[in-house]
Amino acid sequence: MNFHIITIFPEMFDSYLKESIIGRAIKNKKISIKFYNPRDFIKAPKNNYKPVDDKPYGGGPGMVMRAEPILKAVESIKIKNKKSKIIIFSPSGKKFDTVYAKNSAKKYTDIVLISGRYEGIDARVQKILKAQDLSIGDYVLTGGELPAMILIDSIARQIPGVLGKYESLEEERVSSSEVYTRPEVLKYKGKNYKVPKVLLSGNHKKIDEWRKGGK
């Protein structure tokens, strides 16, 4: 899976994508990540410099990301086959979830992620590119960079070989949000906190039942 990220802040991704499972997936070539900065697509002849953003039509505070630098950045992406999808992050878009992540991992070889900033992106970009408006939740962030990282993380872990055997997909096995490790009895401020007995029983049928919600 190749992720193509359109962002004016590519450095924001550095440490997250370098570490742990995602870092390993990039090293092992299970996924690739490329950046395209709209600022690099601004023609800046003398005295005619245009920023990536401009004032909103209709008035109001905040700036809007201009369409042209983003469209040029998208045009510059080299995608070999047609199994690609263009996503624009927006708090009012379709809600992203595990089903969307799973389907995307199966269907596409290339995903273009357009991260907005300020008041958002000129709406004509979505119309021209027939892009999917996607929201990661009902709250407003300052930009689309965190949403892009969330999407990459959740799609990457659906790709075969990305998770190691110790981390294998919890959707495919009986897992629990309540997990424990050593010590068996945790002493904290004069109190003892024990691991649920069933987990120490060695009875896997009972353990699975407990993990399914029998607790």
Residues within the interface to ligand SAH (CB under 6 A):
89-92, 115-117, 119-121, 135-137, 139-141, 143-144, 147
* Residue 5 CB, nearest approach to ligand SAH (Å): 12
**Which is closer to ligand SAH, CB of 22 or CB of 134?**
134
Task: Compute CA distances 19 → 5, 79, 113, 165, whole Å.
Answer: 18, 26, 21, 18
Give the C-alpha separation, 178 to 65, whole Å. 43
**Which is closer to ligand SAH, CB of 38 or CB of 147?**
147
Task: Tell me the two tokens of residue 103.
Answer: 């389907």
* Residue 7 CB, nearest approach to ligand SAH (Å): 10
DSSP state, 73? H
Q: Are 207 and 201 in contact (CB under 8 A)?
A: yes
By Cβ distance, which residue is nearest to ligand SAH?
Answer: 116
**Which is closer to ligand SAH, CB of 15 or CB of 92?**
92
Q: What are 33's strand-pairing partners?
A: 3
**Which is closer to ligand SAH, CB of 77 or CB of 143?**
143
* Residue 73 CB, nearest approach to ligand SAH (Å): 14
Q: What are 5's strand-pairing partners?
A: 35, 113
